[in-house]
Amino acid sequence: MTSVKYDGLHHRHRHRHHHRHHDHHHHHHHHHHHHHQHHHRDRHHRRHHHHHNEQQQQQQQQQHEQQHANSGFVLEVSIQALLRRLISDAWAAADAVARDLLRQLTPDEIAGLIGGRGFWSNGGVPRLKLPALHMTDGPSGARGPLPGLASACVPCGAALGATWDLELCRKIGALLGQETKVKGAHILLGPTVNLQRHPLGGRNFECFSEDPQLSAALAAAYIEGVQEQGVACCVKHLVANDQEHRRSYISAEVSEKALREVYLVPFEAAVEAGCMAVMTGYNRVNGTFCSENRFLLQEILREEWGFRGCVMSDWTGTHSVWGSLEAGLDLEMPEAPGMFYKDRLSRLFHGDPDGLAEMTKPRALAVLRVMARLGLQPGSLPTPAPAVSPNSPELRELLAMAAAESVVLLKNGSGPSGGPLPLGRGPVAVLGPSSRRLTTQGGGSAAVEENPGSVNLVEALRRRLGEHAVHYGRGTDAATRLLPPPGPAELRAVEGEGLLKAEFVETSSWEHLPIPEDRPAAEAAIRALNFGFFTGVYYNQDPPSRKFRPRGPWAVRYRGELTSQHTGRHELSLAGTGRFRLLVRGQCLIDAVGDGESLEMGGFLGDLGAEQRAELELSAGQSVEVCVLWAPGPIRPSRLHLGFRQKPWASEAELQAEATELARRAEAAVVVLGSPGQDSEGRDQSFEVCGLELVRAVAAVQPRTIVCLNVGAAKQLPPDLLKAGAVLVCWLGGQEAAEGLARVLCGEGWGPSGRLPATWPYKLEDTAIGEGLKRYPGVGTQVFYSEGVLLGHRWFQSQGISPQFCFGHGLAYTSFEYSDAELRELRGPGPSASGASAFKPEAELELMVRIRNSGVRAGKEVLQVFAERRSGADATWRLLLGFTKVALYPGEVQVAAVKFLAREATRHWCERTRTWAVEPCCDVLIASSGEEQWRTALRIATPVQAFTDILQCLHRSELRRLLLPASTGLANMMPSPELFGSLNHVSTLS
């Protein structure tokens, strides 16, 4: 499985340097330069190849040097070995430092290391001047601990998934590593490697793909990029945390086979890439909470995979002291009342300091090891204060390139006249409110206060096509479900700093709102209404502030001055828990009771329920006093969202008529359809009705209509939307989304080169969860993963269902031809016993193919290599073995190659024996944009080889279990002395 994690990357560079240039020196230099890309494959090779003695290896190497005199292969192998050694040396050195420190700590100091102290850090050890370990969200940008500090915002996980580009993911990782340091943090809480199990997953936008192998490869590259910068990644959320519905306690009922073959694959890749931290999910797996799941945290993560880093909880995602400690949870986050590793720890072990030390030392050791790896030692310099992202031109260029690479062209014309893309020189109508302000990121922990983007889409197109060639029409008043919060330009506190002044008042009951005359018991400044994580103000506990510690119910009065930037109609809105009232110039415009139920369901990321809106007219520069009264009620968390926007004068019909007229007069029309960025975006599968009506009206008068889908993940597209001339997906493309999209629309660079990282169905009933409620959203507190390993594209293939757009689909502005495909053995333990037609399971195979750009424009092709597997008598499904992205000028030919181990094609987990087994044959095929181009049969030599293979996949502890006297039957199955040699090797592995 693991070689996929590096294939695409390694091969893209390998064939560019080797096949194209035949430049030996170039190749050597290249491997020095990119050596970090290979180390995580190594533990894999150590696991699978250690049984050959040195003599055999020397012979192989000599044969190999003759075969590949110009490939730098031996150098590559030695660099891999060196890197493997460096990483294990780094952990060993960190372990020594950690053990030395641990001896000096008191039980209370240990508790301060393994529990949160504050929202974003542990406690450090003040007595020894050991600084705290600081963390920051999230996968799409480093937000930092303080609101209001701008950050670089990278394309969402699904957009990075759509690039199928490992080198790009590594660069994005490096950028995020730098941003993490700017924010004064040591650990970036990302990437999210849960799988897009179905289209309704609320955080699908945050995850790379539905495919475990694609997710694994991209995650490994991203993690290496981040950690090269001297900060750590925390891969999340272990495991099967794939839905928002009841996410804090639902139990994913999932087979060990599905866990090992599918859901754990990206986490294993992360560990092999050297990831320093792992975050547990909020959910339960087969009844046991992830944060106290010994099978996941000890048996698989530490014992089988050899993970030496730190395991932390998701925020407030713990349920006991004892269960978490015993299962191997190292760090409980954050500090909050009712958490377990703080006060309850000492209470549980009251009077038994030795027992406490015994249980907590291994946990503290893991935390100290990571701190040592990150250079946090007694007397270390204090962490720099969080700062604003530099937002340099280089950073913006990388983000624009990433946004452009992620764009997937779903459709471009159907007739012989060709499609409307790329845009010509003529006038273009750009329609839809999102074209002035694309949704660039999702909500929740992935969101940041982002750097201002260089341009919006209208400006970006005007720069290319000319000021007078691009005409903007709003087209519809599709206000998002929650109005955006006012920023510092529009709102400021009546007195003092910040956006609003908060005045806390003690009340007689939770229903009572403060009256304007009440004297405040305490005051505070509200500095931001967009925390990324959520918008608005938010209380997780009482007391609400350090200065205000009420004994009973309380309420709050917020006062500020609102200034309009424009003349015209405006809307103010409130949504939240408890009871709230909005006064403008002393007049009551909103008085309502919020919906606390939905928030309780989803914790602080829950739905806020219905938003109450009020209209007012303001002229540009006019200021009005705004007062919000709020009784949050007894339920925590409690939250209040204040929204503000300018509202168009025109009616919906007038806006649509104006847009249609602009489209009719133009050469082409670009319509942007968006979905509001929210933590749980995917629940809503449809677009705003008014947006779809706009597309219908425009497409009726303009055949060259281009629909841009500004969404975070797979959507069901209504048939009439697909009647438009062209349809593309630009995802939630980060701060430079508009610049990247404009490049693709105008045909700059390589044109569109994204491929879908997930299947887009015609309707939900076609997907694996269409079978009934048990698979989603679950029944009671359980959700059943009864589709097993058949998720995403595997489900559609095995059931013979056609999707709307298949996994890996994506068009270019050019066409590609494949020829001379060849599957060959790169190196292996000599010729196979059963003749050359069957490979040994551990043989390393290379699939090479010539790809020619047969069109007239430059473009990038993604070579996708699959193994076709059987499930049942006639049902088949595909396993992604590897991929590589190739850039070709018109007429250019390149030899692209993907490597994998023979066993990866047919290896599967046997539930009966609880071991890996290898099937004797399968088909290997090449696909382009999901369409099959070529296939060949792959035969694997079994039975003894397959058995050897199983043994090599076993961990030492499992081997001991197998070799106990009880299993004497095993001896009869092991005729070959070579096998005993391999056993000795396995048993001495560290």
Residues serving a catalytic function are 314
Bridge partners for 502 per DSSP = 524, 558
Rounded CA-CA distance 502/847 in Å is 65
Distance separating alpha carbons of residues 670 and 787, to the nearest angstrom: 40
Q: How are beta strands 931-940 and 921-928 bridged, if at all?
A: antiparallel
Q: Does residue 838 contact residue 795 with C-beta atoms inside 8 Å?
A: no
Q: Answer whether 860's CB lies under 8 Å from 812's CB.
A: yes
**Segment holding 729, helix H or strand E:** strand 726-729
Instruction: Label the pairing between strands 284-285 and 277-280.
Output: unpaired
Are residues 356 and 337 in contact, defined by beta-carbon separation less than 8 angstroms?
Answer: no
Alpha-helical segments (H) within 800-930: 902-906
CB 215 within 8 A of CB 161: yes
Question: 771: alpha, beta or left, given left = phi > 0 and alpha = psi -120 to 50?
Answer: alpha
Rounded CA-CA distance 546/332 in Å is: 23
Query: H or E element: which one contains 845?
Result: strand 844-853
The neighbour count for residue 960, using CB atoms within 10 Å, is 11
Q: Residue 331's beta-bridge partner residues? A: 312
HEC secondary structure over 647-694: ECCCCHHHHHHHHHHHHHHCCEEEEEEECCCCCCHHHCCCCCHHHHHH
Give 332's strand partners: 115
The helix (run of H) or strand (run of E) holding residue 647 is strand 638-647
Burial environment of residue 932 by CB neighbours within 10 A (0 to 12, 13 to 18, 19 or more): middle
Q: Using N-to-C axis directions, what is the helix angle for 54-67 and 73-102, rounded to 10°? A: 140
Dist. CA 924–CA 847, nearest whole Å: 9
Cβ 528 vs Cβ 627: under 8 Å: no
* 244 in Cβ contact with 171 (< 8 Å): no
CA atoms within 13 A of residue 71's CA, in its CB half-sphere: 17
Tokens at residue 326, please? Answer: 């015993």
Whole-number Cα distances in Å, 535 to 593, 605, 641, 643: 19, 10, 6, 9
Give how far the C-alpha of residue 686 lies from the chain's centroid of Cα atoms, to the nearest Å. Answer: 23
Give Cβ neighbours of residue 815 (< 8 Å, ≥ 6 apart): 853, 854, 855
Q: Residue 446 in contact with residue 188, Cβ under 8 Å?
A: no
Distances (CA, A) of 497 to 488, 545, 560, 564: 11, 17, 10, 19
Q: How far is CA 893 from CA 17, 808, 818, 861, 886, in A?
A: 14, 22, 10, 12, 10
**Cα(606)–Cα(824) distance, integer angstroms:** 53
Nearest to 791 by CA among 204, 206, 198, 3: 198
Give helix 166-182 / helix 212-227 axis angle, nearest 10°. Answer: 40
Q: Choose among 240, 239, 246: nearest CA to 773.
A: 246
Angle at 279 between CA 715 and CA 5, to 5 degrees: 65
Q: How far apart are CA 968 and CA 954, in angstroms?
A: 18
